[in-house]
Amino acid sequence: MIQDYLPGIKNGGSLQFFLMAGPCAIEGEDIALRIAERIVNITDKYSIPYIFKGSYRKANRSRVDSFTGIGDEKALKVLQKVGETFGVPTVTDIHESHEAAMAAEYVDVLQIPAFLCRQTELLVAAAQTGKVVNIKKGQFLSAASMQFAVDKVKDSGNSKVCLTDRGNSFGYQDLIVDYRGIPEMRAFQVPTIMDCTHSLQQPNQTSGVTGGKPALIETIAKAAIAVGADGLFIETHPDPANAKSDGANMLHLDLLEGLIEKLVRVREAIL
């Protein structure tokens, strides 16, 4: 369980799934704090362990003029302030090995993006920080093949590793979720997470802006809990249409509590 990796996490004794949630990218301090406050209130209400998510920089963008961030140090300090203000762990993604030590000074969990999950130097650098390492499964890989990514982190002296499914490539412009992957990755004895928003992306659009199907977030999340996912990853924003990144597949923040309430009932039904 994630509580074994992050013993200070709020609601750590809960039998509920845990939640990684927040905006796709850190857009500024005020909006990050507002989003975090809303989610903390919801997760406290339902006794769900919570990790605030926000990318300090977006390196994988379709177009060169796409938003990438407000500045590395500035965004990392926002993540740090969120964690200190609300007493919750924070997670951000890194893209190159030299970023690991820098980001580790500000956050509790380092996330490896799906496209980079086979990058040995990146995984080793993340592991050597001693932080929790959350590896997203590549859209091009089977669940079983993620054992090698887990081994790279553990063989580097860090047993605090999680895996996140975010769907598989289905043609050029769509993804599909194979729910067999959840129990397959849980068999590696690591917390396994379902990314309920990125798994609904529609990449490689002719406009250069990734599309999505946010109306199906509830479907993805319910199915993930039903097959035993330990945690959920959800990007959420109070105004997805005007979010700086990935607005097409984010959950509107106003819908989060209703979704969580339903998911708690699903979890209770399978325990």
Please compute the mean of the pLDDT values over residues 230-242 and round it to a whole number: 95
Whole-number pLDDT of residue 1? 79
What's the mean pLDDT when you consider all of the chain? Answer: 92
Report the alpha-carbon distance of residue 232 to residue 164 in Å, rounded: 9
Domains belonging to the chain, first-starting first, are 2-7+17-270 (3.20.20.70)
In degrees, rounded to 5, the angle at the alpha carbon of residue 146 between the alpha carbons of residues 99 and 23 is: 50
Lowest mean pLDDT segment, chosen from 3-12, 201-210, 233-242, 243-252? 201-210
Please compute the mean of the pLDDT values over residues 148-174 and round it to a whole number: 95
Q: Are 11 and 44 in contact (CB under 8 A)?
A: yes
Please compute the mean of the pLDDT values over residues 12-29 and round it to a whole number: 92
Whole-number pLDDT of residue 62? 57
Lowest mean pLDDT segment, chosen from 14-18, 134-138, 265-269? 14-18
Is residue 271 exposed (0-12), middle (13-18) or buried (19+ Cβ within 10 Å)?
A: exposed
Pick the more confident residue, 267 or 211: 267
Query: What is the percent of the chain with per-residue pLDDT over 90, rounded to a whole number?
Result: 79
Q: Would you place residue 124 in the very low, low, confident or very high pLDDT band (cuts 50, 70, 90)?
A: very high
Q: Is the pLDDT of residue 209 over 90?
A: no
Bridge partners of 136, per DSSP, are 164
Q: Would you place residue 207 in the very low, low, confident or very high pLDDT band (cuts 50, 70, 90)?
A: low
Residues 6+ away with beta carbon under 8 Å from 97:
119, 121, 122, 124, 125
Q: Is the pLDDT of residue 200 over 60?
A: yes
pLDDT in tens, 46-65: 999 999 999 999 776 556 65
Q: Is the pLDDT of residue 177 over 80?
A: yes
3-class secondary-structure state, position 47: coil
